[in-house]
Amino acid sequence: MLIRSKLRDRVGPNDRLIIDGYNTILTIVSALECRTLYLCDDGIVRDLRSAYVKDFATPLVLNALEILSEELARLRVGDVAIILDSNVSWSARHAEVIRKIISEAEVKLAKKADIEVLSTRGIACSSDYLILKRAKAIYDLAGKIILRNFKHKVEDINKYIY
Q: How far apart are the first and last CA of the chain?
A: 21
Q: Which residues of 42-81 are buried (b: 16+ CB within 10 A; e: fewer)?
A: bbbbbbebeeebeebeeebbeebbebbbebbeebebeebb
How are beta strands 16-20 and 37-39 bridged, if at all?
unpaired
What mean pLDDT comes out for the span 123-148? 97
1: in domain: no
- The count of domains in the chain is 1
Q: What is the pTM of this model?
A: 0.94
Q: What is the tens place of the pLDDT at every residue in 16-50?
A: 999 999 999 999 999 999 999 999 999 999 999 87
Domain that holds residue 73: 6-161
Task: Report the pLDDT value the prediction gives residue 162, as an integer from 0 to 100.
Answer: 66
CATH of the domain at 66: 3.40.50
157: in domain: yes
